Amino acid sequence: MPTPEPPPFLAGGGRATELILARDWTGHPLGLPDAWPEGLKVALSLVVNSPESMILCWGPELHFFFNETYIPLLGPRVDWAMGSPFDEVWADALAQAHPIIAAAMAGQSQRFNDLPWKLATDRGQADTWWTFSYSRILGPDGAIAGLFIFTNETTNKVLADAALKDSNEQLRLVIEGAKDHAIFTVDPAGHITTWSAGAQAIFGWTAQEALGQSVALVFTPQDVADGAHVRELTLAARTGHAHDERWHITKSGRRVFMNGSVHPLPDDTDGQPRGFIKIARDDTVRQEAAAARAQEVERQRLSLQQMPGFVGILSGPEHRYEYVNDAYVAISGERDFLGRTVREVFPELAGQGFYELLDQVYATGTAYTARAMPLHLDNRTASEADRFIDFVYEPIRDASGAVSGVFAGGYDVTDQVRAQRQLAEANLGLEQRVDATVRHLMAAEEALRQAQKMEAVGQLTGGLAHDFNNLLGGITSSLELVQRHIAQGRIADVDRYVVAAQGAARRAAALTHRLLAFSRRQTLDPKIVDVNLLVAGLEDLVRRTVGPSIEVTVVGSASLWPTLVDAPQLESALLNLCINARDAMPDGGRITIETANRWLDGQAAKTLTMAEGQYISLSVTDTGTGMTPEVMARAFEPFFTTKPLGQGTGLGLSMIYGFAQQSGGQVRIYSEVGAGTTVSIYLARSTASAEPAELPALETVGRASVGETVLLVEDEPTIRMAVTDELGELGYTVLEASDGKTALRALQSGAHIDLLLTDVGLPGGMNGRQIADAARTALPGLKVLFITGYAENAMIGDGQLEPGMAVLTKPFSLEELGIRIREMLS
């Protein structure tokens, strides 16, 4: 009948397992082995697999189990002892065993060394000696589950000890002379027979305490459980020498590191082994230092291993690998790193720049950092060969400060780089679609805004028509009177009527300009302006305008920055603000005009909805009635006014707002009811210097140089006639054209032309800007002066003039036209 396969917990038990399997457990109090308690299985597995002589007694009757090492101690009882009650197995020793068992069951376990024991003669001699210990086993509920017995018969040792007593004494005297080493001898079974003073000094046990004890006395529990003390003696007996370098234990429980060796003692006169001698020195200090260093190295290794990025440590100028973490291997692929140089490990890096960077860091001691650097690896698949890495090469220095190696660390950012590229490609398409959508929306918004403005203008059509009719009536009446008086030869009052007609025309022009500013369609002619000088030039006009009941104070900032702005428009804006301030103080008060340099940081610029940077501010502050938050919120709306009907159109602040926006600036209101109002215009600083230019007196207008020719393009015959006559009186040769085709023929005729003077809005499908472009193509650098009553932005370059171009807004005086032409040609 074949031997049954042992259950897992009995694996490795040798003959002891065979004896367990050979027994019939049917009807046994413990039952069949598969049903045994888990604690019994675990304990029995430990016993049968131990090389030491061990016994396990289980249950109330202490059923007897033993391992293969214990079998020789049973004699003929071995055939039936497995699983039998302890009292049956050792019936001839109960008188001695029961007190020891009782003490162990009470938790008072002891170890007995070379204890004499009287046995029956069925297993040999009756007088025996044993080294053993009994200890109880507690179950999960704390109740006693069994008894564990570690036992070793020492009869032969005890008998040999007597024979060796004389020689041991002699050896003891030798051993006692060595004070700096632990020297002791053991018998063949491993029991201490001599104990030096050095051993006592190192381990703490006196000779009386150590003699007779197993050499396991000085071994750590872990080494004892592993059988290290037995293997050491076995090796020494077989080879004649066993090197011993390990941690040992002292009487106080302190660990000491002993470095020594074990040798067999000479046999006695009967040829029997006398045992072994162990000589060792205390190397605890050295070992603890080495352990501390090793612990620190391990701590650093674990720290590097746990880093999220890849890490490599390279030594020497040849960059030899001392350490790489798992992340380094993951990106590089499996390679033979340690002890080899970078050039040996990564031959494919030649030409990719990494060798050179490492050499540079080692030679200069200066770290190098790279972002998303491309890396090509030959040992990876096509999809993984090309990588992108963020990395740093950091010099490693020795105790003297010299560079001894390089730390290489970083991250694999391939996925991020690829994702960013994909996102950029997707965003490009999205941006193109969004851009097209935004353009459509902006066009629609602009059309809606213009429609709203035109609707607002329509609401004022009656009032505006009334104003223009009054102004035109004054002009036509004055001209009729001039014509009548000249026909009658009465020229004394002609000048008075001409002045009246001119004044009405200027008021009409001012109203037109205010409407153009509201629509943000007026053309600006920006120049470098010193705003302090501009304010000083208007101060008298402001004082006369606001009247004697209002005090005007001007506070100009020293070293005020220049700004690029259309000076006449800024003058108009300042005058409008002063008039508004006057109207807010019907009982008098104070107006303060102030200039200042402003540096807008991120937060201030965000508050003002402007870009960060340097600006100048022009502020008008009054001590008037102030504005409520509701009024301030609508102050820039076209045609919004708090003045009584007929006293304001509501275009003043909207014109100023439009002018500031078109000039790249901003307008802001600060007001408190009952305390007054401050309106500030912000304009960008210009790095150029202001060069104030004063118009020459009309009588000093320069005449044309010989041969200077002006090409005039104007569809209104009256204006064309007046301009031609005026320029002719100043000595210019004038070529006339009423539309674009005629102008082009003149340009292509080969005639010498110094300046193109053209209206913007012309009939025939070609505007003034198109004529100017054609003229400059034929005559590069040709000076161009636009004259216009509305000047659409699209016609002259989005509201900004190119070099060599200027604009003059209708209506203008003929003298002013002559001055502007002379300036441009000079």
Assess whether pLDDT exceeds 60 at residue 641: yes
Model confidence over 729-768: pLDDT tens digits?
888 999 999 998 999 988 888 889 999 999 888 887 788 8
Superfamily of domain 520-684: Histidine kinase-like ATPase, C-terminal domain (3.30.565.10)
Query: How high is the pLDDT of residue 442?
Result: 63
What class does CATH assign to 164-288?
alpha beta
Neighbour tally for 353: CB within 10 Å: 13
Model confidence over 434-449: pLDDT tens digits?
667 667 666 655 554 4
Query: How high is the pLDDT of residue 697?
Result: 45
Q: State the number of CA atoms in the 13 A half-sphere of 492 facing the CB.
A: 1
- DSSP assignments along 633-646, one per residue: HHTTSTT---SPTT
Assess whether pLDDT exceeds 70 at residue 84: yes
User: Which of 58-72, 561-575, 790-804 reaches the highest mean pLDDT?
Assistant: 58-72
**Whole-structure pTM over 0.85, yes or no?**
no
Distance set, CA 277 to CA 190, 258, 268, 287, 363 (Å): 10, 14, 14, 23, 57
Neighbour tally for 718: CB within 10 Å: 8
Assess whether pLDDT exceeds 90 at residue 432: no
Neighbour tally for 669: CB within 10 Å: 15
Query: Which CATH architecture group holds 307-412?
Result: 2-Layer Sandwich (3.30)
- DSSP assignments along 403-446, one per residue: EEEEEEEEEE-HHHHHHHHHHHHHHHHHHHHHHHHHHHHHHHHH
What class does CATH assign to 8-153?
alpha beta
Q: What is the mean pLDDT of residues 609-617?
A: 88
More confident residue, 351 or 494: 351
**pLDDT interval class at 683 (50, 70, 90):** very high
Assess whether pLDDT exceeds 50 at residue 647: no
Q: Please check whether the two domains, 520-684 and 698-825, share a CATH topology.
A: no
More confident residue, 635 or 651: 635
User: Which of 123-137, 214-228, 573-587 reaches the highest mean pLDDT?
Assistant: 214-228
Q: What is the mean pLDDT of residues 201-221?
A: 93
Closest by CA to 567, choosing from 593, 539, 535, is 535
**pLDDT interval class at 825 (50, 70, 90):** confident
Query: How high is the pLDDT of residue 57?
Result: 94
Burial readout 371-408 (b: 16 or more C-beta within 10 A, e: otherwise): eebebebeeeeeeeeebbbbbebbbbeeeeeebbbbbb
Q: Is 161 left (phi over 0), alpha (psi -120 to 50) or beta?
A: alpha
Query: How high is the pLDDT of residue 650?
Result: 45
Q: Name the average pLDDT for the chain.
A: 81
Q: Which two structure tokens, joined as six digits, stand for 724?
A: 């031609």
Model confidence over 502-538: pLDDT tens digits?
766 766 666 565 555 444 445 567 889 999 999 988 8
User: Which of 9-18, 487-496, 568-577, 643-652 reaches the highest mean pLDDT?
Assistant: 9-18
More confident residue, 8 or 520: 8
Lowest pLDDT segment from 287-296, 407-416, 548-557:
287-296
Percent share of the chain, pLDDT over 70: 80
Query: How high is the pLDDT of residue 150?
Result: 87
For the chain, what are the domain ranges?
8-153, 164-288, 307-412, 414-453, 461-512, 520-684, 698-825
**pLDDT interval class at 471 (50, 70, 90):** low
Closest by CA to 742, choosing from 725, 754, 759, is 759
**pLDDT interval class at 133 (50, 70, 90):** confident
Closest by CA to 798, choosing from 439, 392, 522, 429, is 522
What does the angle CA 288 – CA 292 – CA 294 come to, to the nearest 5 degrees?
A: 115
Closest by CA to 215, choosing from 202, 239, 231, is 231
Q: State the number of CA atoms in the 13 A half-sphere of 24 facing the CB.
A: 2
Which CATH fold topology does 698-825 show?
A: Rossmann fold (3.40.50)
